[in-house]
Amino acid sequence: MGRTLEDKQEIVADLKETLSESTLALVIEYQGLTVAEITDLRRRLRPSGAVCKVTKNTLMGIAIQDQEKWEPLSELLKGSSAFLLVKEDFSSAIKAYQDFQKATKKTELRGGVMEGRLLKENDVKALGDLPSKEQLMGQIAGAINSLASKIAVGINEVPGSLARALQAVAEAEKGDSTAE
């Protein structure tokens, strides 16, 4: 028994809503994956805020219709497609998918779309190599902390330098007065 029109409209509405919250969409060939493996992929993606949607290409095609940001996705709609929709931390999501792919060796990345641009496999790998949100925040915090430490040392050094300069002047004047 096929899906009813209402079911299909509900699926398309759900896809549109998820896409509106997403910054990156990846398309993978998932043929040969078991339900347990799809569940494992979804579990791995969850911490990064990404979701895995398995739906017919025609329904995804309807969902991206008239959405300039996602229009290039139509080029990737062929075969058995699963869609990884990433909200924020795309680096972590890509790494999670890559780990899953290494473990199962059953999926193939067709490409993705980000900010209206079609991404090939190499582009997606480059995005995956970027540091995660947590790593970037750690690097920024470390840089800020380092800068604050240098400023504090510099500020502390001013009175010390001034005191040494005054001491040197005082000794120089003392030496001049004893020479007379």
The answer on pLDDT for 28 being more than 60 is: yes
Residues above pLDDT 90, as percent of the chain:
4
Residue 116 confidence (pLDDT) = 82
Quick one: pLDDT at residue 180? Answer: 54
**pLDDT in the model for residue 43:** 93
Task: Report the alpha-carbon distance of residue 114 to residue 136 in Å, rounded.
Answer: 20
Pick the more confident residue, 62 or 136: 62
What is the chain's mean pLDDT, rounded? 83
Give per-residue pLDDT as tens, 72-99: 888 888 888 889 998 887 888 888 888 8
In angstroms, the first-to-last Cα distance of the chain is 115
Residue 117 is given by DSSP the state E
Query: What's the rounded Cα separation, in Å, for the pair 62 and 82?
Result: 15
Q: Which of 18, 13, 23, 15 is closest to 116 using CA atoms?
A: 23
pLDDT band at 136 (very low <50, low <70, confident <90, very high): confident
154 vs 108 pLDDT, higher one = 108
Residue 85: left (phi > 0), alpha (psi -120 to 50), or beta? beta
Question: Does the global pTM surpass 0.85?
Answer: no
Residue 98, class by beta-carbon neighbours within 10 Å (0-12 exposed, 13-18 middle, 19+ buried)? middle
| Residue whose token pair is 């890559």 | 98
CA distance 118 to 95: 19
